[in-house]
Structure 1
Amino acid sequence: MAAGRGEFFASFFEGLRRKQNPNCGLRAAGSRRWPEPTVKKYEADFLQMGTSQSEENSIEKLPSEVLLNILSHLDASSLCCVGLVAKLFHRLAADNVLWQKMYVSHFGSRTWRPKPAVADDEEEEEEEEEAQQHRAAGYWKKMYFRSLAGQEVKKWRREKRDVNPFTGLPDMTGRTLKNLNVSWELTLCREPGSKVTMEPSRADFFDSSVIVLFRGGPVVRYPEIRSLSLHGVRKGTARPGWRSLLFQLDVRSQPGRLSGDAGGVKLRSLQPGVSIGTWGEEDSVLFIMVSLHFHQLVERSLLGSPVCPYSEPAQLPYMDHSDPASGLHGYSLHLVLHNHAAKIMSRTFLQLRCHSVQDGLLELRVVDRKDLSQHRALSGSITLPWSSEGLDGCVENCCILSLTLLDEFQKPFWCVSSSVFVAAAVTPPSDDYAGEHFLLRFLQPEGRLRMELVRLTGPRQFMLIGLVLQLPVLKVNERFGREY
């Protein structure tokens, strides 16, 4: 601080001298002319004052009791800022007495342990003072912020109690993310070892997922990318540097599937839910689109660590001995086909049951292609619009799939949101419709999906004529405690 004042005063008196010099320009009319002796006298006094303050450091000479009394009038945020000024203030700003009083005033309890039913007040105060002396510096500061974070977690978990009967997901997930100022950052690791961090340019929320679009920044070629990672961040909090890892992909081992090529723009699909658009022969990255499912998204975006994703608590098997077919029926499926602009299809299918078990996979037949009453028309064409700086276009036969499968207890069993594309069927699966037939396949270790579509010749409208899900039997056995 003293050095800063010295530089300021030196600059100030240099300005006075220039004002006295007629060669430095015209002097403003009516301005006062400072005599040179006066300028030198003031300069000597001010510089001496700055030097004496720097050498004596009169603040540090104050007793610690006086400084602690001053700091006791600050709030938590100001106290943390004061702790960054000097070593003395860093030590005093972590004083247990200060933070204990702040903890009591905010949470209304002095300790975490319950008080005994009958105890003498004086003995209790002596025990508390003795325990206070043995606690390390900064103990109550950590307790304060830990309790503050826990209180906030309880608050947004209360907001997520209401469950949507169709999706089986918390109804306020999108609003909770917005209220908490949750955002995401994408980090690209390139060949030479350098990293590029991208912030989202837009985020589109739907009933069961959110699409986050990253674009702009330095030019990056797709072959240079070694890996990419997505972190959840929270803007404007007391932990500005905290990152919660959602996933990390090794691009070299997972080069991505080419979903489409539109006017020189290539779209590659990587799992989980990452689509990269590149341009030209050099494969310069135009945009990166990430689709995130709402299941545990708040927890994954806030409660993970910078290097380890959030792990959902292990769930014990249901062990329903009253129902010998538990795990084979009662499933519900909420399926959405969409892009970042509009929904293409949104359907909920109830009371799904297993039809067969083959090759370690349990099959759920959602839409039977032989039953015409189950066939459904799609409300739009299967396209994926994209836009970048100065460029925009549309990838045909590509969209976002958001799938939420609930078990018989209406708990999420398989949740995924990812880009998918449809391909022409080699042999038409149905003779009931005149038009082009397509297949949409999605494969994951958690499950498989096969969708049969037909684009009618006249109205050029897509029809859903077949839908089958396959679930690993091992996963079903773990959930329901069975041995299928």
Structure 2
Amino acid sequence: MAAGRGEFFRSLLEGLERKSAQPGPGRGQPGPGRGQPGPGRGQPGPGRGQPGPGERQRGRRRRKRPLRGAPSSVGGNERSRSELRTERQKTSSSKENFIERLPSEILIKILSYLDSPSLFCISLVSKLFHRLSSDDVMWHKIYNAEFGRQVWKPKGWDDAALKVDPAEDPSAGHWKKLYFKTVAGQEMSKWRRELKDISPYTGLPKHTEQVLRSLNVSWELTVCDCLGHEKKMEQSRAYFFKSSAIICWSNGSFPKYHHISNIQLHGVRKEPKGPEVRRPAWRSLILKLDMKTHSGWFFGKDKLIKLMHLPPGFIVGIWRGQSNVAFIMVSLHLHKLVEKSLLGSPVCPYSEPADLSPVDDSDPEFGLHGYTLHFILHNTGSEIMSGHFCKLSCHTVQIQRGWVELRVISRTNLSQHRSLSGNITMPWKSDAMEGSVEFRFGSDPFFSALTVLPQNCCIVSLTLLDEIQKPFWCVSSPIRVTMVKKAPSSDYSGEHFAMDFQNPEGQVKMSLVWLKEQKQFFLISLIIYVPVFKVNKHFSTEY
């Protein structure tokens, strides 16, 4: 449009110059019927010798305005009208879309040679192709050719749902929708069959990691700053454990920590790379964190970085002495991770359907016994401690302040105490450097216990199963060690520490003791607290 305006003003200027140099007929030079004097014409008189204002205005109205965007004259010679007409015809013919001028029947015949992915992609070209590529007759043939009589039916559907209503508008795309529902249903049935093999040790599907890798699922992080700029990053590394996965992002330029407004985590399924790939990647929202309502808190540090914990499971590594972000990690529990990564929408997370257990009125303690706990302390590289605890229970008299107490390891029962196989550390890795936030009690003369201990942190992943061995509470989150100033009475003479975690669905309280001679931790107490309203909702009880 800028070029058109320039040509217009240049043409107007040249027209004004020609007008001042060569006055047109009826003004300064005689013309037919104008130069000969006649009655009332040849003699000068008032209002006759010079054109009046009214005549000048009429002359301006009679002159044609220059064509916008018309090419200017070269060397003072104007193009002929035939040349301009020919050029306009060429321009209009070049912009004409001959494909859309074809009849709809011919276009549908051409589209009928395409496969289903190509039809889906061409429907995004224009409104015309979107309407034609949804033709029910065409999709009915594709549906029958691919599935035939072996039709997958969604739950709750009957045979009448597979038939086309004669009064239904063919442009509604009934068979197109049914085709994609059938494809999605068959694919879901396939990977759900693979997830039916449950581990008796963890209560979770054995092949969650294999299914995620076979479906080419990865996780994408979207970081938005205060100005509304978004930065999307693909995962750098993923660490899988028996009941959780840790995803890391360290490749890319992050906004400064105090400039981050929100963080979004999406599960992304990408098609294998190749020339036959046509479909875009599907993004399923898993977590969305608003920094205004979920402020982070200090979690640990070493000589290079400090860690900030953003509940529920994000860890942000910041270079010490500045606010630049080195990496971001998130801990995810494997329970329903496949569904969360695939079945959510780009803006809405996957919601698990309610599955209430049957009520057993014969047992007054129903819902308070028969629990099983699978418990792991780990970091990004190895397990620090793991345990499997069965037959956990609680009596109604032990319910206090709305919490059900499940005592897993008792402080007074020495046979239940467990040693931690490794030190409490949190290895990290950025684009150019790596390190570890670890326990250094008494090993560095420049540090004391009070200054070093807040640096110790790891990941806790627990799976609490109900009496029918179904997941009741699943969580994977960072947790840190704090020193207990007043050590409780026990059979250990070392320093005592605590590791606590809490969210709306439960609490974890651990007590540890540091044995200086062995240079290792002992877990001497582990208690799980579950809110009463969660028990009542799950078992349909009224405790």
- Band the TM-score falls in, shorter-chain normalisation: 0.7 to 0.9
| Matching residue within 519, 531, 542 for 1:460 | 519
Query: Does the aligned pair in 2 maintain the 1:354–1:362 contact within 8 Å?
Result: yes
Residue 421 (structure 2) aligns with: 379
CA contact 1:369–1:430 (8 Å) conserved in 2: no
Worse-matched range after superposition: 288-297 or 299-308:
299-308
Provide the identity percentage: 54
Give the TM-score normalised by the residue count of structure 1.
0.81
Within a 5 Å distance, the mapping from 1:133-172 to structure 2 comes to 134-172=169-207
Q: Is the 8 A contact 2:506 2:530 kept in 1?
A: yes
Q: For 1:105, what is the secondary structure of its paired residue?
A: helix
Aligned to 1:352: 392
Q: Distance in 1 between matches of 2:287 and 2:311?
A: 10
Q: CA deviation at 1:73?
A: 2.8
Partners of 1:52 and 1:194 in 2: how far apart?
41
- Cα deviations across residues 303-342 of structure 1 (Å, max 9, x unaligned)? 1122221111122353111222111111100001111111
Give the distance between the partners of 1:202 and 1:361, measured in 2 at CA: 38
The question of whether the paired residues in 1 share the 8 Å contact of 2:118 and 2:278 is answered with no
Residue 251 of structure 1, CA deviation: 1.5
Kindly state the Cα deviation for residue 66 of structure 1 after the two structures are TM-superposed: 4.4
Distance 1:361-1:60 versus aligned 2 partners, 3 A rule: closer
* Amino acid in the other structure paired with 1:139: H
Counterpart of 2:5 in structure 1 is none
> 2 CA distance for matches of 1:268 and 1:215?
15
Give the strand-richer structure, 1 or 2. 1
Write the letter of the residue equivalent to 1:441.
Answer: D
2:448 matched to 1:389?
Answer: no
Tell me by how many angstroms 1:86 deviates: 5.8
1:252 to 277, 292, 299: 292
SS at match of 1:345: strand
Partners in 1 of 2:214 and 2:514 — Cα distance? Answer: 42
Answer yes or no: is 1:114 the counterpart of 2:170. Answer: no
Cα drift, residue 113 of structure 1 = 5.3
Spell out the pairing of 1:34-113 with structure 2 (5 A cutoff): 64-84=104-124, 88-109=128-149
Q: How far does residue 288 in structure 1 lie from its aligned partner after superposition? A: 0.6
Question: What are the equivalent positions in structure 2 for 1:186-225 lying under 5 Å apart?
Answer: 186-225=221-260
Q: Which residue in 2 is equivalent to 1:402?
A: 461
Mapped contact 2:131–2:171 kept (Cα < 8 A):
no
Match of 2:166 among 113, 131, 134: 131
Quickly say closer, same or farther: Cα 1:115–1:199, change in 2 above 3 A.
closer
* Superposition deviation, residue 191 in structure 1: 1.3
How far does the alpha carbon of each residue in 1:449-483 deviate from its partner, in whole angstroms, 9 at most, with x for none?
A: 11111121112011111101111111112222222
- Look up the equivalent residue of 1:387 and give its one-letter code: K
Q: String of CA shifts for 1:12-40, please: whole Å, max 9, x gaps.
A: xxxxxxxxxxxxxxxxxxxxxxxxxxxxx
Q: Does the CA contact (< 8 Å) of 1:234 and 1:240 recur in 2? A: no
Q: Which shifted more, 263-272 or 311-320?
A: 311-320
Q: Distance in 2 between matches of 1:59 and 1:305?
A: 35
| Alignment size in residue pairs | 424
Farther-moved stretch of structure 1 (259-268 vs 77-86): 77-86
Structure of higher CA gyration radius: 2
Greater Cα shift, 361-370 or 251-260 = 251-260
Q: 1:202 to 1:321 in 2, by over 3 A?
A: same
Cα separation, partners in 2 of 1:182 and 1:55, compared to 1, 3 Å: closer
1:442 pairs, out of 485, 501, 507, with 501
Q: Secondary structure at the match of 2:479?
A: strand
In structure 2, give the amino acid aligned to 1:304: G
Instruction: Give yes or no for the alignment of 1:330 onto 2:365.
Output: no
Deviation at 1:142, TM superposition (A): 2.0
- The residue type equivalent to 1:153 in the other structure is M
| CA deviation after TM superposition for structure 1 residue 401, in Å | 0.6
Q: 1:100 to 1:469 in 2, by over 3 A?
A: same
Q: Which amino acid aligns with 1:330?
A: G
Is the Cα–Cα contact under 8 Å of residues 384 and 399 in structure 1 kept in the other structure? yes
* CA drift at 1:71: 2.9
Q: Write the distance in 1 (CA, Å) between the matches of 2:400 and 2:168.
A: 67
Give distance in 1, aligned partners of 2:225 and 2:310. 17
Per-residue deviation, 1:254: 2.3
Shift of 1:240: 2.4
- Could you tell me which runs of 5 or more consecutive residues in structure 1 were left unpaired when the two chains were aligned: 1-49, 117-126
Task: Please tell me whether the aligned partners of residues 331 and 351 of structure 1 are also in contact (alpha carbons under 8 angstroms).
Answer: yes
Does 1:276 pair with 2:335? no
In 2 relative to 1, CA 350–79 (structure 1 residues): closer, same or farther, beyond 3 Å?
A: same
Q: Name the structure 2 match of 1:182.
A: 217
- Cα–Cα, structure 1 residues 144 and 452, in superposed 2: closer, same or farther, change >3 Å? same
Change (3 A) 1:194 1:81: closer
State the distance in 1 between where 2:471 and 2:278 align.
33
8 Å CA contact retained: 2:392, 2:407: yes
Question: How much is the aligned-residue C-alpha RMSD, in angstroms?
Answer: 2.6
Pick from 230, 255, 267 the counterpart of residue 232 of structure 1. 267
Cα deviations by residue, 1:414-449 (Å, 9 ceiling, x for unpaired): 100011111111122353223222110001111111
Say if 1:429 and 1:452, in contact at 8 Å, map to a contact too: no
Residue pair 2:121, 2:278 contacting (<8 A) in 1 also: no
Partner of 2:328: 288
Q: CA deviation at 1:366?
A: 0.3
More divergent stretch after superposition (182-191 vs 239-248): 239-248
Residue of structure 1 aligned with 2:338, choices 278, 298, 302: 298
Contact 1:420–1:440, Cα closer than 8 Å, also in 2: yes
Q: Tell which deviates more after alignment, 467-476 or 429-438.
A: 429-438
TM-score by length of 2: 0.73
Cα separation, 2, equivalents of 1:282 and 1:454: 35
Distance 1:253 1:91, change over 3 A: closer
